[in-house]
Structure 1
Amino acid sequence: MTSNTSASVPDVQSEFKVVSIFDTDLYKACIVVALSSSQILIDPVAQFTMQQAIFEYYPNAKVVYRFTHRDKHRQFSRACIENFREALSGFADVQLTHDERVWLQDKCKYFKPAYLDYLQSYRFKPEQIFVTFLPSSDDPDMGSVKIEARGLWLETVLWEVPLMACLCEMYFRYVDQDWDYTGQEEQAMYKATSLLDARCTFSEFGTRRRRSFVTQDLVVRGIIKARDAHEWKEGFFGTSNVYLAMRYNLNVIGTIAHEWFMGATLGDYRDAAGTALDLWSNLYGDNLSVTLTDTFSTEVFYREFDNKRANQWKVLRQDSGDPKEFAPRAKRIDGLDFKKTKELNEQCQLLGFKCSFGIGTWLTNDFKKKSSGYEEQSKALNIVIKLGSIDGKECVKISDEITKNTGVPEVVAKVKEIYQISAS
């Protein structure tokens, strides 16, 4: 297969450019199940709705974000990290344009003028990002990296997705170059067609772990071509990338984040999920009523999700654990590849409710190695950036999947004790 874009990898000599403040992934999770037969409602701009909530409730809270590389065997090169650090300076010039503000006002009526004024004045502060290269004992030019963002929560909340996307792009420029863009648009068309044939409603959620901006643009264009050629056009729900949504006139999709639950109680974890839900509902009402369930485990969530809250929130989102167990109990679901998505879609149909899938890495970082004749997989990075502390108090996330737990072990143990969660 060939693509209408150059098949080469990004030129390491070319300058990394920040496209827009809108080049962010509003994805803050995704396997989604509707709690009623009503239309599925998705938070269209989660990074910005999160920031508006912080603007309203916690304008002076100070936080630390921490980076985690889950694949300990893969290393970064010194050149990769040096260029990553240099690329961060380019974010300082990014700002909301007049046209982007008009677009937000038109698409998202719940943004208040005071917040939009703040967003228009907002500038990224690269000095808030602390990057340390940690050379390995075997090779001083290869190693791991420590990344932290420190500052006001109101300001640093917009750093997470751009940091991850930028680091991924630098890794595949300077460390792993055994790949190219050959067939990416056609591959996206094929995948989208398969999903549409199976009557799976899906969105593209791939910004944070994409191989590059060019990749995501190719993928979205391929999906659009597949949709336009298909008889069932309603299956492609949109993209979580605000810039690409505006560029291609698509729905922009996202949901509330684990981060909101982790930070909204300022370190007091008793009734944390309920408090976070109520603050969000007070601000957004019925406009944004999709919530995730697993920040402190799904079992704990359901203890606090009483009838009043169940009536306020229309959709639940699964992000960890076994989605086949989640679907019968809740009702909305996370698909990572075609086989899993198709199986879950069929399950939801049998159970009699709507489901929608947010698909990221499988679309925007699915490559084959050139050296293998495009047969062997070119593995994506498995990285995350999570809220580490707020006002000096450690933050934790207790996932339904034990490998996704986040936080200082002793604080994780303390929160498990509060919620009477098994220590295993």
Structure 2
Amino acid sequence: MSAASAPSPISILDTDLYKLTMQQAVLHQFPDVQATYRFTNRDKNTLFSRQCIERFRTAVSQFTDLALTTEEHEWLRTACPYFTPSYLAFLAAYRYKPEQVRITFVPVSADGLLGNVEIEAFGPWVDTILWEVPLMASLSESYFNSVMTDWNYDSQEQSAYEKGCALLKAGCAFSEFGTRRRRSYLTQDILLKSLVRASRDVQETTGRLSGTSNVHFAHKYGLTPIGTIAHEWFMGVAALKGYEGANNVALDLWERVYPDSTLIALTDTFSTDAFFKDFTSDPERVRRWNGLRQDSGDPFAFGPRVKAMYESLGIDPREKIIVYSDALNVEKAIRLQKQANELGLQKASFGIGTFLTNDFKTASSGGTEKSKALNMVIKLSSVNDRPCIKISDDLTKNTGDKSTVEHVKRLYNLIPAPSQA
């Protein structure tokens, strides 16, 4: 049964690892930069109730109570040795500032009870960078506790267990990536407990539960916290340093902060074509970086392309990691694993998000109709008043200032296309 109201925040670590690794990178490289983040609801048919947004406001106000505990500090020091003592000291002193978040309910119904929501976070980049994940998770939980309530937890534990077993038996190495769009904190807790049980029960397989992106749940269940460099790093660096060769600049700055860590590059911030052009201009960097992550476009075209790229530089693709993370489900991950096996890509892995943490059916349909997750993002909008943009391989995911999008498309010789908000 769904909860009556959204719970208070649990832990400052109830977020994705990449927010912490990027916060450390910003602290080291851009400590004085100001930033703005903005919310986008991609599904224009989804409306929020006034009650939902008030509940959301209340949840946001309670984040001031969160602080890194001594136990969490010690665990991070050992579980994440790439965090420097200075960063851990910064995180221990960090407190969320709800005054950095502006939430506006925009009524559209005649009675003023249903409408859209505008969300903006603004302030020092090193502070505001942590707002993205908890804002989205809190909004989702508020929505499913007050607007779309036709669902329950029946069969969730068994469903999660069966998904884990299927992935493991197919030889998939996979991580849970679903914090931002989870239905609730309890959903993610049920899920991870079930996946851990599946990983203990399924033996004699090359598949494995690699970990979770959620740092709090990694701590709770003894899992590896998993994360890679994210779009906003490329977006912010490009806006600050210029778009010419922006991928290379972003990778170089990241490597300065994490010289001895596993380096996984995200390929689609300004399109995969632009990324590969930059990336392959320095073969030594290609050798140093451990792998690539695919997050938009056709994943079945990505594997062959990556293999050909490595082989063209005399690099054995079997030694490189390839991470798939775009809208995955069990069936898609298994098909991609089969392709990876055929290509000889021995280190394929899968980051699965919404399909694990927000896969529900409506209760009134008896479990036959899907209860859809929110289709939303919070993206870096500007740094030092310079607009930040993203040009992914999926045109519906392009975000940011339209004139800047068009300028960068021309710069990278991309096929002209209408930009998408």
For normalisation by structure 2, the TM-score amounts to 0.92
Residue 338 of structure 1 pairs with residue 314 of structure 2: no
Q: Secondary structure at the match of 1:134?
A: strand
1:393 Cα shift? 0.5
For 1:49 and 1:411, locate their aligned partners in 2 and report how far apart those are by CA, in whole Å.
27
1:49 Cα shift? 1.1
For 1:139 and 1:304, locate their aligned partners in 2 and report how far apart those are by CA, in whole Å.
53
1:177 to 149, 152, 162: 149
Residue 251 of structure 1 pairs with residue 251 of structure 2: no
After superposing on structure 2, the runs of 4+ consecutive aligned residues of structure 1 that deviate more than 3 Å are: none
Tell which deviates more after alignment, 137-146 or 276-285. Answer: 137-146
Residue 91 of structure 1 pairs with residue 63 of structure 2: yes
**1:98-118 alpha-carbon deviations (Å, 9 max, x no partner):** 111111110122211111111
Letter in 1 for 2:117: V
2:105 to 111, 129, 133: 133
Residue 322 of structure 1 pairs with residue 295 of structure 2: no
Letter in 2 for 1:50: M
User: Residue in 2 aligned with 1:108?
Assistant: 80
1:421 Cα shift? 1.2
2:411 to 401, 406, 418: 418
User: Residue in 2 aligned with 1:275?
Assistant: 249
* Equivalence map 1:228-377=2 (5 Å): 228-232=200-204, 235-267=208-240, 268-305=242-279, 306-330=282-306, 331-334=322-325, 336-353=328-345, 354-377=347-370
Contact 2:263–2:289 (8 Å) recurs in 1: yes
Unaligned residue ranges in structure 2 (runs of 5+): 307-321
For 1:401 and 1:192, locate their aligned partners in 2 and report how far apart those are by CA, in whole Å.
28
1:136 Cα shift? 0.5
Q: Secondary structure at the match of 1:228?
A: helix
For 2:324 and 2:130, locate their aligned partners in 1 and report how far apart those are by CA, in whole Å.
26
Letter in 1 for 2:267: T
For 1:342 and 1:142, locate their aligned partners in 2 and report how far apart those are by CA, in whole Å.
40
Letter in 2 for 1:280: W
For 2:374 and 2:238, locate their aligned partners in 1 and report how far apart those are by CA, in whole Å.
31
Between the two proteins, the alignment pairs up a number of residues equal to 396
User: Residue in 1 aligned with 2:180?
Assistant: 208
For 2:377 and 2:25, locate their aligned partners in 1 and report how far apart those are by CA, in whole Å.
22
**1:112-164 alpha-carbon deviations (Å, 9 max, x no partner):** 11111111000000000000001004441001000000000000001100000
Q: RMSD of the TM alignment (CA)?
A: 1.2
For 1:241 and 1:21, locate their aligned partners in 2 and report how far apart those are by CA, in whole Å.
11
User: Residue in 2 aligned with 1:384?
Assistant: 377
Contact 2:177–2:214 (8 Å) recurs in 1: yes
Letter in 1 for 2:352: I
1:52 to 11, 14, 24: 24
1:18 to 1, 5, 9: 9
1:270 Cα shift? 1.3
For normalisation by structure 1, the TM-score amounts to 0.91
For 2:111 and 2:362, locate their aligned partners in 1 and report how far apart those are by CA, in whole Å.
24
Percent sequence identity over matched residues?
A: 50
For 2:414 and 2:295, locate their aligned partners in 1 and report how far apart those are by CA, in whole Å.
19
For 1:167 and 1:232, locate their aligned partners in 2 and report how far apart those are by CA, in whole Å.
41
Tell which deviates more after alignment, 279-288 or 235-244. Answer: 279-288
For 2:323 and 2:216, locate their aligned partners in 1 and report how far apart those are by CA, in whole Å.
26
2:199 to 227, 239, 250: 227
For 1:266 and 1:401, locate their aligned partners in 2 and report how far apart those are by CA, in whole Å.
21
1:286 Cα shift? 3.3
1:326 Cα shift? 0.6
Tell which deviates more after alignment, 146-155 or 230-239. Answer: 230-239
The structure showing larger relative contact order (alpha-carbon pairs under 8 Å, at least 6 residues apart) is: 1
For 1:232 and 1:329, locate their aligned partners in 2 and report how far apart those are by CA, in whole Å.
31
Unaligned residue ranges in structure 1 (runs of 5+): 1-7, 27-45
